[in-house]
């Protein structure tokens, strides 16, 4: 399981051993009060912010507007070494993006954008995910149990 951009790398690399072997799917959901609720991680390249302490907030805002414009963002998403995921609904019609990712992946990723939840942007975010990632890796490598990982994560301050 990974961010959608891994499909682009796997499909566009001529030496890829995973080309044609990856699948994409709509993010699973949970039933909450009888309603299916899905929360997909926000795609890379779609969550820009301007700091309240910026010396030039208007300039930063204009840069974000330019960078996420259709022509510039399409180029970034289609770039063979880029890591942006498709996130504009018109990108399903861009032959370079579809060629890089495959039509099914683009369609599925764009469907997942309807359920996007913002990434965690809090002080200590890096440290939190480092602890989480290390413990999940230990579980996946069968070095510890899921219960032990949960205790380690909860006990970290």
pLDDT in tens, 50-105: 888 889 999 999 999 998 899 999 999 999 888 788 888 999 999 999 999 989 99
Q: Residue 113 in contact with residue 43, Cβ under 8 Å?
A: yes
pTM of the model: 0.67
Q: Residue 104 in contact with residue 11, Cβ under 8 Å?
A: no
Q: Does residue 7 sit in helix, strand or coil? A: helix
Span of 107-111, 124-128, 130-134 with lowest mean pLDDT: 124-128
């Amino acid at each position: 399981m990974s961010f959608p951009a891994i499909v682009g790398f796997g499909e566009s690399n001529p030496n890829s051993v995973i080309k044609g072997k990856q699948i994409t799917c709509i993010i699973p959901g949970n039933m909450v009060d009888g309603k299916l609720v899905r929360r997909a991680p926000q795609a890379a390249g779609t969550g820009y912010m301007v700091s309240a302490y910026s010396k030039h907030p208007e300039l930063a805002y204009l840069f974000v507007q330019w960078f996420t414009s259709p022509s510039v963002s399409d180029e970034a998403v289609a770039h063979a070494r880029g890591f942006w995921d498709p996130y504009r609904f018109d990108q399903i019609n861009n032959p370079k993006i579809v060629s890089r990712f495959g039509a099914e992946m683009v369609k599925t990723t764009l469907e997942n954008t309807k359920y996007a939840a913002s990434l965690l942007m809090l002080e200590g975010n890096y440290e939190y995910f480092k602890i989480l990632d290390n413990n999940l890796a230990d579980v996946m490598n069968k070095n510890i149990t899921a219960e032990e990982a949960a205790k380690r994560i909860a006990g970290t301050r």
